Amino acid sequence: MLNLQNDDRIWVDDVIAKLTAKMGVVCERSRNKIPYTTRNGTHDNQIEKDINWWTNGFWGGMMWLMYHETGAQKYKEIANYTEDALDACLHQFYGLHHDVGFMWLPTSVANYKVTGNPESRKRAMHAANLLAGRFNLAGGFIRAWNDDTTSEDTRGWAIVDCMMNLPLLYWASEETKDPRYAQIAMKHADTALDAFIRPDGSVNHIVEFDPFHGDVVRTYGGQGYEDGSSWTRGQTWALYGFMISYTHTGKPEYLQAAKRVAHYFMANIPDNGIIPIDFRQPKEPAYEDSTAAAIAACGLIEIAQAVGEYEKDVYLNAALKLLKTVDASRCDWTTGSDHLLMGGSAAYHHQDIHVSIIYGDYYFMEAVFKLKGNDLFLW
């Protein structure tokens, strides 16, 4: 139990009232879409643009969170619509990548958990098998990307984001009682512990392994500022991802890893609470990423719930600071625009800087429901 202070409880209730009011309007406008971002305040639609895009599960996930909170049927209808749309990816097969976890956990696994729909279970199992099939035995890692989207040879590439895809494998083992999926997830997590987390608690974004022999070849800065820097969203994928691996396995080394990354992250939160794109970026331009704040908050709240009374406030207070800063300075609560969070950034070297990004909205919502004690845990 989190046992929030009274003023924090009042703040959570206020944010949920604002969320409910805004989402009630926005979901109707975006009923037939899978959004990634907004253009002039209006959601784009990945069904028309790129149905394999890794973020295509988050809108459905938001709908399940809202359905869980309100019971309003419209959220379930929209979630079903997005899940059906994703079938095109399963049929095409080519174009799918390790982010099948991000795509089918908040859609099909969510649907199955809430309604028991056997079709959703089938889709999620299909996705889990695709993810398991990307495992490289020599290196003990799950391959991230395919060579069709890049000119690089990515057979040996693993990225820290994959920690958030592992729960699809844990779910598949829990569901089938077949340990193979969880074994792959734990092997990948063990590899990530050694190869991604640095001694100071910061993490690499990309590690390249020799795909035939498994040795580490080199690291890349990926979506951060440069190799050796500290891309903040990558830190949060590790923070929350290791925490989720702990939740599913009970292995104390995963909790220790989540805490190590969390302590590094908390020590680097600027006084104003605004999270940069990279903790080691130049001071100017003052690039920021609100999505990292929202994801970090989710992980910190989960850690707070797992540790003892005497240490939980360290994590809970950091999460509250991040979320209150986002609410006060980066949320658009008007019903005229489709997005919740502004100030999201796809990557340091990317044109999508300081924009709205759907996973920022999703994780902000998830964090607030966790604080209320009404989280539909989808990981």
What residues are annotated to the active site? 99, 161
Select 274 or 346, whichever has its Cβ closest to ligand GLY: 346
Q: Is 356 in the site for ligand GLY (CB under 6 A)?
A: no
Residue 46's alpha-carbon distances to 30, 38, 77, 349, in angstroms, are 12, 11, 18, 22
Please identify, using beta-carbon distances, which residue of 275 and 371 lies nearer to ligand GLY. Answer: 275
Compute the chain's Rg from CA coordinates: 19
Q: Which residue is nearest to ligand GLY (CB)?
A: 161
CA distances from 17 to 10, 21, 224, 293 (A): 11, 6, 35, 21
Distance from C-alpha of 30 to C-alpha of 159, rounded to nearest angstrom: 31
Sheet with strand 157-159: strands edge to edge: 157-159, 206-209, 216-220
Which has the closest alpha carbon to 357: 335, 379, 326?
Answer: 326
- By rule CB under 6 A, what count of residues binds ligand GLY? 5
Question: What minimum distance in Å lies between the beta carbon of 330 and ligand GLY?
Answer: 18
Is residue 194 marked as binding? no
Residue with smaller CB distance to ligand GLY, 54 or 104: 54
Alpha-carbon dihedral angle through residues 22, 167, 354, 258, given to the nearest 10 degrees? 110
The correct pick among 205, 233, 248, 259 for binding ligand GLY (CB under 6 A) is 233
| Residues across the chain | 379
Q: Does 143 carry a binding-site annotation?
A: no
Q: Least distance in Å: CB of 31 to ligand GLY?
A: 26
The correct pick among 69, 161, 289, 327 for binding ligand GLY (CB under 6 A) is 161
Say how far apart CA 185 and CA 166 lie, in whole Å.
Answer: 5
- Min dist. Cβ of residue 205 to ligand GLY (A): 9
The answer to whether 8 is annotated as binding is no
Give yes or no for residue 278 binding ligand GLY (CB under 6 A).
Answer: no
Task: State CA 279 to chain mean position distance.
Answer: 19
Nearer residue to ligand GLY within complex by CB, 69 or 208: 208
With 0-12 / 13-18 / 19 or more C-beta atoms within 10 angstroms meaning exposed / middle / buried, residue 115 is middle
Our finding on whether 223 is near ligand GLY (CB under 6 A) is yes
Report the residue number, 103 or 303, with the smaller CB distance to ligand GLY: 103
Which tokens is 376 given? 């539909």
Is 99 annotated to bind a ligand? Reply is yes
**CB of residue 294 to ligand GLY, shortest distance in Å:** 12
The answer to whether 235 touches 203, Cβ cutoff 8 Å, is yes
State yes or no: residue 338 binds ligand GLY (CB under 6 A). no
**Contact code string over 26-65 relative to ligand GLY, x by CB under 6 A:** ----------------------------x-----------
Binding site for ligand GLY (CB under 6 A): 54, 161, 223, 233, 346
List the binding residues for substrate. Answer: 99, 161, 233, 237
